[in-house]
Structure 1
Amino acid sequence: MRSTSSPRPVFALADVNSMYCSCERAFRPDLHKTPIVVLSNNDGCVIAQTKEVKALGIEMAQPWFEVEKQARAIGVVAFSSNYEMYASFSNRFVETLRHFAPRIEVYSIDECFMDLTGLKLDLEEYGRKIKDTVLEWTSLPICVGIGHSKTLAKLANKVAKKQERFGGVCDFTSMSEAELDALLEKLDVDKVWGVGRRYAERLNSLGVRNVLRLKRANPRRVRDEFGVVLMRTVQELNGIACHELTEEIEPSKQVMSSRSFGQRVSSLQGLREAISFHAATATARLREQRLYAQAVHCFIQNSPFDERPYFGRSLTIALPSPTNDTFKVTEAALMLLERMYAPKVYYQKAGVMLMELVPVAGQQMDLLGYSDDAGKAESLMTAIDKINERYGRHTVRLASQGYRNDWAMRRELKSRNYTADWNELPTIGERFAL
């Protein structure tokens, strides 16, 4: 319980506008007013779009092959997903926000909650300073929502995005109760954080169609009808903070690496390369989180939409002792692949999942487990990680990963990796088509 003398909590949510598209525009000033879409793995569907594209009627999740001709005819520029660059921009976005709040919670790649409790400032003006600084330091346009709970901050951010009169910053804490209620009455109930389609349909059937009606609902009745989660949402809409800021990221329960193939694979050698690649990627992520795996799970499958019957297999193996050694995990994964593989199947996807994770500290080793020197293995993995961090992922790789990787994800429209590859940096005097 908070002390009655403590200041009322204040949260802000900073959210990047169309994150992936904004990253693509950062190094392309010629595209600042051009409609842009970013495509999913293998250039399949639209997963990000600028507001200009939304106005043209192209929907999220539409298959690109269905709308490509129409989109290009009206001047839409498409990009393949450049995840490495997006992650780099996200890190810069988060580090910029740390200058403005003592505590932040990284909610997603493009959203962060900030604790502004106790700041003796004009919060709306402070929100504009945050917005302007992020744009200046990272080239990313953002909106900021401020409220006495995380749910209200999230809702304020949505209002800031949709209503131009707020100029990208909406502060619910500065509004009178009547002013705030008038605004909430105009918002559909499904705009509330945590109220999905099914909740919205049930609430609508009970006459709760806008946010104000939900705010004024009886918490006990909501708990009886929908459960404690929605009851807390009602409390949050009334400015009672039920959700604290979460600064520490909880350890993963599983780590997975999986992608659809850029082209179908039928050979065992092609699958060995893919499985080795995913095993190396997953164990590198494991080491980043200082975790060890006690089991390895692998799967291979063709497409459920193929004319041939669906084929999919998966197997799991327990490891002799916990490890995050790429060699050991890859060896186990390839052994599983040998047991799963069937010839004359055109595989569309494969993946490796590391399970039963334990922290590096406090793990219990197996007396009859791996007998080689764990210290040497750890030093080798550290050296490989440092090299790959400096010169690019998979610069140092296992021979079983292959080199050409013809199966790799198709990204024919990928932009250059401006922020993480020395060979792809813009050069002085370089011009883009205007």
Structure 2
Amino acid sequence: MELVQKIQKQYSHKNVITPKGYRAGGMHCGLKYKRSDLAIIYSEVPAHVAGVFTTNAIQAAPLHVTKEVVYETKKMQAIVVNSGNANACTGKQGLENAYKMQQATAEKLGIDSNLVGVASTGIIGEQMNMEPVLTGIDKLYIGTSSENAIQVSQAILTTDTVTKTTSYVLDIDGKEVTISGVAKGSGMIAPNMATMLAFITTDAAVTSEALQQALSSITDQTFNSITVDGDTSTNDTVLVMANGMAENDMLTDEHPDWDVFVEGVRAVSEDLAKMIAKDGEGATKLVEVNVNNGMCEETSRIIAKKVVGSPLVKTAMYGNDGNWGRIIAAIGYSGVPIDPNKISIKIGPFDVLSMGEPVPFEDAAVTHYLKKSEVVIDIDLGIGDASGTAWGCDLSYDYVQINASYRT
């Protein structure tokens, strides 16, 4: 059976607690003035876990705590997350506070503290006010309703304008397996990952080793293929919990339905990544860049990310300007070997460059196309058979305004 027949996107009830055995909740504890700022995601049983974290050499305190759970315990039963304060660059006190969040959550749920992951997002360099956080953890209601899941998606937001959730149902071993995800991210978005948090839950039975293998590969194709502003954050975290309550045979890379599972995780990750790119601070449109016929997947993706991340390309997209010269320039300074005489470029359905030669096109038609909320740039390098894709957004006046006053 083809993968597409075994994977079905859910258009209702698509939330992080749709898989069997998960509960969640969110609330306003007081780190922010009014909006929700604290959430917990909980599995009824310990789940196998995989994680991918920021490549920034400066890493926030919660990452050190969560890495211990992912790499040493290799199982996770709960994630506690706050917004409004990143708990980054906060020294020994910050690390102590992250452990306090972990311990308080474990005591609330009656589980071992080494089964609790911690994540934070918000302002860097300020100590967290722990009194409202610890009080909030104690009071937070964790349930199974759609409203509880919505609370989580709202509590993790910072400058985001929309919540970001998705869900897929898979056929594995003839059993229904669900993979769902929730994410936040709007600014400081660049490889590798960004100021973004993504939490993926599934009721699949899968080993931690196989889960980590899948996530690491998928992250390069999805979360690491988005860019908003070229900055890499201190708090980037992607976690996948798999609690096995679908009761399928244990998945490894030798299982006959392994590709189905990997594609499900990839689909959830790509959905969330594209939502983050589209919701870039001040953005008005999602920009997708496809590079085809490159020498290899990695270099094709490098070019795609370089083009979608170019400030000049981004401002052209905001201005609905079909200035393909900015695109070819970004290809040229990508550092990837190319043959300029074999490059072709399309903006939407319009050819603007063919085998290194300009193609006459109607400016008004291209401008009209670029006014869409989602636009596509296709680049053919003509030197191989590999491809790569990246997603980003335009760069507007609002981006400067939002980031000029982030702390105030």
- Asked whether the two chains share a fold, i.e. TM above 0.5, the reply is no
Question: TM-score if structure 2 supplies the norm length?
Answer: 0.23
Query: Higher helix share goes to which structure?
Result: 1
Query: Higher strand share goes to which structure?
Result: 2
Question: TM-score if structure 1 supplies the norm length?
Answer: 0.22
Larger Rg: 1
